[in-house]
């Protein structure tokens, strides 16, 4: 028999039992839809994490304190801080691959205005900070090198601070009090949103790092140590070489011998992004694998229905074999029926899954994304389910003895 005829006969057989076939497809529809939704959520999470990490800065490299060792036991990263302003200045002078260098002095404090107060983080930084973080001002200006040299009491506030303390009024030109020290607000940073860990990047006040060290009271006043050093490169391809250059300069600055361990830690945002996306990718495929169990259940349903169909159509099969149909023709017909059921169910499942992912994104606010590869995999897998679970019933039908089949009641 020609393949076109086999397809026509198989389709007619399916249409004779519409309700039964619809219920059989349901398992495939649910399975494919579940896989599509899970992959969409996983892909959306990866995209969102990548966007949030890119928001940290342009080709960002972070230098933090190293670890100390007591009694042969490492105390962990950040327990031994030898980072100083001189380290940052040396990097600024000698590094050839860096587009920006900024020391960072952290000072958690209470910000007080005439309308209220707000607990926040003050970051003392240099004028390279907006370049490194790719962070512009939406109002006013960022402070200048002159402000840093003279340790002026000027501040640039984040969007969260502006929203909570100034409530619709223009903060630029107004006063804000940090640890009993009045500062003039000269700018408002553009909104950045949350980090991948859920921290609000806009809940920050930025001031010259020299001011943070000399004008703010507490343990930061006149302290020679700094919290971290932020640097950036002109392109992502420069990051590995820049890290080696930074390491050499920092070791020289700290006078470390050849056998001495680094007393600082260098990380870049690409490492963070790769680690976060790798974890998310594993989770998304794990969820998709769990959802694919529905496809196996649907495949078993197809096999059961096809076995019932073989039993119901035993006399029909006997007649076809008796008048000259080959075993391969009968086997192909039942395989086609199984593949059509699973493929149509797969296509419907893709539509349902795409709609489900869209609704889920709108209801929960999650980012969802359906890659073309997921659609191809879903269709291919559903067709494979049809072949796998339809093979046994098709082989059983093709091996029926024509005489026994014609006698079947």
Closest residue by Cα to residue 210 from 136, 104, 129, 119: 104
Q: Is the dihedral of CA 361, 367, 371, 377 positive or negative?
A: negative
3-state SS of 341-354 is HHHHHHHHHHHHHH
pLDDT at 219: 47
pLDDT at 368: 77
Check residue 70 and report its DSSP letter: E
| Dihedral angle, C-alpha 143, 149, 150, 153, nearest 10 ° | 40
Q: Alpha-carbon distance 57 to 47, whole Å?
A: 16
pLDDT at 75: 46
Q: Alpha-carbon distance 318 to 12, whole Å?
A: 18
How do the pLDDT tens digits run along the chain, 409 residues long? 456 666 666 677 667 777 777 777 787 888 788 888 877 877 777 666 666 655 555 688 899 887 544 444 444 454 557 788 899 999 999 999 999 999 999 888 899 998 889 999 999 999 999 999 888 999 999 999 999 999 999 999 999 999 999 887 899 999 999 988 999 999 999 998 776 566 788 999 999 999 998 887 544 444 457 889 999 988 878 888 999 999 999 999 988 888 888 888 888 866 655 655 566 667 666 766 766 677 677 777 777 777 777 776 677 767 777 777 677 777 777 777 777 778 888 888 888 888 888 888 888 777 777 777 777 777 777 777 777 777 777 777 777 666 665 555 5
CA 285 from centroid of its chain's CA atoms: 13
pLDDT at 71: 43
pLDDT at 213: 87
pLDDT at 128: 94
Q: Alpha-carbon distance 204 to 194, whole Å?
A: 12
CB-based contacts of 108: which residues, under 8 Å, 6+ apart?
119, 120, 121, 122
| Dihedral angle, C-alpha 327, 331, 333, 336, nearest 10 ° | -160
Q: Alpha-carbon distance 195 to 55, whole Å?
A: 8
Asked if 370 contacts 54 with a C-beta cutoff of 8 angstroms, the reply is no
């Amino acid at each position: 028999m020609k393949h076109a005829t086999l397809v026509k006969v198989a389709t007619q057989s399916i249409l004779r039992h519409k309700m039964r076939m619809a219920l059989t497809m349901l398992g495939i529809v649910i399975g494919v839809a579940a896989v599509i939704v899970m992959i969409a959520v996983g892909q959306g999470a990866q995209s969102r994490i990548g966007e949030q990490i890119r928001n940290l800065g342009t080709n960002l490299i972070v230098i933090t304190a190293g670890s100390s060792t007591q009694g042969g036991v490492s105390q962990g990263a950040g327990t031994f801080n030898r980072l100083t302003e001189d380290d940052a200045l040396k990097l600024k002078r000698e590094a050839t691959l860096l587009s920006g260098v900024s020391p960072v002095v952290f000072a958690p404090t209470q910000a007080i205005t005439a309308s209220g107060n707000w607990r926040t983080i003050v970051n003392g930084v240099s004028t390279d900070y907006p370049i490194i973080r790719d962070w512009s001002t939406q109002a006013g200006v960022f402070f200048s090198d002159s402000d840093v040299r003279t340790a002026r009491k000027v501040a640039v506030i984040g969007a969260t601070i502006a929203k909570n303390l100034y409530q619709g009024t223009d903060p630029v030109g107004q006063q804000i009090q940090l640890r009993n020290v009045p500062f003039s607000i000269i700018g408002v940073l553009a909104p950045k949103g949350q980090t991948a860990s859920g921290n609000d990047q806009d809940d920050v006040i930025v001031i010259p790092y020299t001011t943070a060290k000399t004008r703010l009271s507490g343990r930061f006043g006149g302290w020679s140590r700094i919290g971290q050093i932020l640097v950036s490169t002109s392109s992502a391809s420069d990051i590995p070489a820049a890290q080696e250059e930074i390491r050499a300069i920092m070791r020289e600055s700290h006078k470390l011998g050849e056998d001495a361990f680094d007393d600082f830690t260098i990380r870049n945002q690409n490492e963070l992004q790769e680690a976060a996306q790798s974890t998310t990718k594993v989770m998304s495929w794990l969820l998709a694998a769990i959802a694919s169990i529905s496809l196996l259940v649907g495949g078993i349903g197809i096999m059961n229905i096809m076995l019932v169909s073989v039993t119901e159509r035993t006399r029909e099969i006997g007649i076809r074999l008796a008048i000259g149909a080959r075993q391969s023709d009968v086997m192909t017909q039942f395989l086609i029926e199984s593949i059509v059921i699973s493929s149509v169910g797969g296509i419907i499942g893709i539509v349902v899954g795409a709609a489900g992912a869209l609704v889920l994104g709108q209801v929960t606010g999650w980012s969802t994304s359906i890659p073309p590869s997921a659609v191809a995999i879903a269709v291919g897998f559903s067709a494979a389910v049809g072949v796998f679970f339809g093979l046994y019933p098709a082989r059983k039908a093709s091996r029926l003895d024509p005489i026994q089949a014609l006698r079947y009641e």
